[in-house]
């Protein structure tokens, strides 16, 4: 028993995190996205990269935001998940939904403190992002319609990635006026397309493994259509990258390597499509993540090199 009745015991909470929010994986993916976005902002607007404390505050803001989105999503889908996934930690009652909500509230409190530390502009953008996450929790008050239209459900929910990226892009000038240059909008939607591609790949199942209470893009579009959609979002990332090449000072090797990685991932999708089973379908998000890793690791290397060269 936890000495704090409103909080889960540490062993049970560790099981929940391992199942629904692996800290090492989410922390690493957030590090790549956050660092690239922050450094891209400094590069595009010609400002210094924030020092260690502002950098860590912004990173903590992002990780806590990812976590509170996971909590809201699990609470929102409580009834369906208990019926569809009885083996999960929450469904078994090892961590109660009330306890989970408390951890989500604490994450939001940490986010808010970090945003306040980074400046009034960031605090306002944080509250806007928080408000959007609460609209997501209520499913924009059109839950039944969104459940029948998974693509638009995904669009409405993944737009928070653009909100998140736009907030991070403002962090190097947290105490200044809002920057609204077109390149910032393009970069924010680049992140939206990248994460949407992973989300689509994560929700692809073979017909015999589809569950009545679980949403999947393969139910709506079929396996081939879903794979094409994931590749399409990654192709949009290529297009945004090309448009941002001058603003970010991207070398030709980065553009070529990104295009080659897209071709490899699209080719793997086509190859795996002909051999699809449940085991392979559950690894499609990892295949899609190859593009994510190549893009952000390569971009981080470029931006660091540009920073040292300037």
Contact call for residues 218 and 205 (beta carbons, < 8 A): yes
Residue 298 exposure: Cα atoms within 13 Å on the Cβ side: 21
Q: In whole angstroms, what is the distance from residue 77 CA to residue 159 CA?
A: 19
CA count, 13 A, side-chain hemisphere, 30 = 21
Query: Is pLDDT at 305 greater than 80 in this prediction?
Result: yes
Contact 285, 194 (CB under 8 A): no
Report which of 202, 258, 245, 192 is spatially closest to residue 227, judged by C-alpha positions. Answer: 202
DSSP string, 63-83: HHHHHHHHHHHHHHTHHHHHH
Question: Half-sphere exposure (CA, 13 Å, Cβ side) for 63?
Answer: 20
Looking at residue 174, its pLDDT comes to: 76
What tens digit of pLDDT does each residue of 97-120 get?
999 999 999 999 999 999 999 999
Band of pLDDT at residue 14, cut at 50, 70 and 90:
very high
- What CATH superfamily classification does 1-141 receive? UbiA prenyltransferase (1.10.357.140)
Region of 139 on the Ramachandran plot (φ > 0 left; ψ -120 to 50 alpha; else beta): left
* Residue ranges per structural domain of the chain: 1-141, 181-310
CA–centroid distance for 201 within its chain: 13
- Is the Cβ–Cβ distance between 85 and 49 less than 8 Å? no
Give the tens place of pLDDT for each residue, 123-145: 999 999 999 999 999 999 999 89
pLDDT for residue 306: 81
pTM reported for the whole predicted model: 0.91
Whether 229 has a pLDDT exceeding 80, the answer reads yes
Sequence-distant (6+) residues with CB within 8 A of 113 are: none
pLDDT at 254 over 90: yes
- Asked if the model's pLDDT at residue 10 lies above 80, the reply is yes
> Which pLDDT does position 3 carry in this prediction?
47
The share of the chain scoring above pLDDT 90, in percent, equals: 79
The band of 66, judged by pLDDT with boundaries at 50, 70 and 90, is: very high
| One CATH from 1.10.510.10, 3.40.50.1000, 1.20.120.1780, 3.40.1670.10 for 181-310 | 1.20.120.1780
Position 160 scores a pLDDT of 95
Residue 188 has pLDDT above 60, yes or no: yes
């Amino acid at each position: 028993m936890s000495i704090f009745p409103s909080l889960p015991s540490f062993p049970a909470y560790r099981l929940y995190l391992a199942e629904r929010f692996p800290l090492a994986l989410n922390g690493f993916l957030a590090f790549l996205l956050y660092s690239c976005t922050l450094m891209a902002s400094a590069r595009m607007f010609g400002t210094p990269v924030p020092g260690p404390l502002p950098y860590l505050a912004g990173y903590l803001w992002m990780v806590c935001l990812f976590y509170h989105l996971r909590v809201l999503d699990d609470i929102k889908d409580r009834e369906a998940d208990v019926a569809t996934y009885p083996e999960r930690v929450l469904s078994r009652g090892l961590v109660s939904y009330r306890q989970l909500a408390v951890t989500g509230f604490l994450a939001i409190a940490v986010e808010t403190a970090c945003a306040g530390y980074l400046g009034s502009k960031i605090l306002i953008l944080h509250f806007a992002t928080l408000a959007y996450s609460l609209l997501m929790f209520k499913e924009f008050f059109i839950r039944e319609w969104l459940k029948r239209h998974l693509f638009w459900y995904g669009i409405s929910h993944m737009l928070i990635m653009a909100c998140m990226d736009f907030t991070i892009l403002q962090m190097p000038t947290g105490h200044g006026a809002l920057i609204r240059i077109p390149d910032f909008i393009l970069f924010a939607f680049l992140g939206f397309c990248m994460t949407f591609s992973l989300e689509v790949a994560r929700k692809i199942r073979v017909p015999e493994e589809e569950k009545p209470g679980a949403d999947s893009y393969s139910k709506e579009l079929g396996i081939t259509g879903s794979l094409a959609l994931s590749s399409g979002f990654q192709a949009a990332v290529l297009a945004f990258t090309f448009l941002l090449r001058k603003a970010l000072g991207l070398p030709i090797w980065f553009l070529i390597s990104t295009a080659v990685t897209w071709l490899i991932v699209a080719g793997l999708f086509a190859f795996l499509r002909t051999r699809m089973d449940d085991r392979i379908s559950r690894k499609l998000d990892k295949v899609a993540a190859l593009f994510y890793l190549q893009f952000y690791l390569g971009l981080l290397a470029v931006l660091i090199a540009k920073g040292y060269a300037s």
